[in-house]
Copies of this chain bind each other. A is one copy, B any other.
Amino acid sequence: MKTKYFIVAGLLIVLLALVTSGQAMSQEKRVVMDRSQVRELNPEDINDWRGKTVMIFAPHPDDDLSPAGTMAKLVKNGNKVIVVVYTTGNKGSRDLEMTSERLAQIRKQEDIAANKILGIKEENIIWLGYDDGMLEYVPEKELCEKVCWLIRKYRPDAVFCHDAGTDWMQWHKTDHRMSAFITLDGARAAAYHLYFPHHRIYEDLQPFTVMDYFFWGSHEPNYNVDITDVIELKFEAACQHVSQFGKGNFKYTGPVMDTEDKENIRKRYMRKGPDGKMYENFRRLQGSRSF
């Protein structure tokens, strides 16, 4: 019943949004529209989602930790999570013996292990394979097309990525900057068949409009997800990234994390809010006002 209510509310919202952005259409016309163009809004409460497809766009193989609790919950509720990782993370080590090819291999395994704990299968992780720290120097149009292609292919009900909002300017790794922008740019391009039209001509990939965005790392969060009951999963996932957190970043000795480092991670993750619960915060942008 709650679900039904949200569907109705969602439809009202999407119609309102379309009207507001000057793309209104009469209700009786909707049935003849292409199926990709008009869809119900997602339920407001992410806990009510079932059977949804969610995509995460992470610049490095450990940035998917940011929304990891939310992902664990979504998977438990029968939603599908696709993780897109822009770079191989092949520079992020202070171990002077480490080489870039070896680091890429280590971090791939770490991320697979971490996602497995969250319930995300290896085949749902997509590796774009760019060099760590170099994402801003990749030809943008080509990168935009890749994101566009992925969006048209997987047609996600929601997209999670870094916030491209104002705050990141103060200090941001270049890859974070780029991933924040290009994810939005690619997603927007996906909505119109005349962008990269060969996707449709050669692969029958139809346009698709993302209707729900969740930005992590935002200074203007407007949506919280209670992850108290999955915090242990998130903690365990974080502990897979041995090459990144703790001594492994200075001297990598294998895929098992040092006890002391684990303890430090635990302390960071177990910070509770005033209500004794733990949250992941997002800036959420729903509807199509963005176009």
- A residues near B (Cβ < 8 Å) are 19-20, 22-26, 29, 33-34, 37, 88, 90-94, 96, 98-105, 108, 127, 129, 132-134, 136-142, 144, 164-171, 173-174, 181, 184-185, 188-189, 191-199, 201-202, 207, 220, 238, 244-247, 249-250, 260-261, 264-265, 267-268, 283, 285, 290-291
Contact = CB atoms under 8 A, between A and B. Distances in A.
Nearest to A33: B250
A129 B198 contact: yes
A33 to B, nearest CB: 6
Contacts of A181: 174
A245 B141 CA distance: 27
Contacts of A201: 88, 101, 104-105, 108, 129
A98 B194 contact: yes
A185 B174 contact: yes
A206 to B, nearest CB: 8
Contacts of A93: 192, 194
A250 B37 contact: yes
A69 B171 CA distance: 25
A264 B33 contact: no
A68 to B, nearest CB: 14
Contacts of A139: 139, 142
A182 to B, nearest CB: 9
B23 A249 contact: yes
A169 B165 contact: yes
Nearest to A249: B23
Contacts of A138: 142
Contact of A171 (B24, B99, B244, B290): B290
A169 B174 contact: no
A20 to B, nearest CB: 7
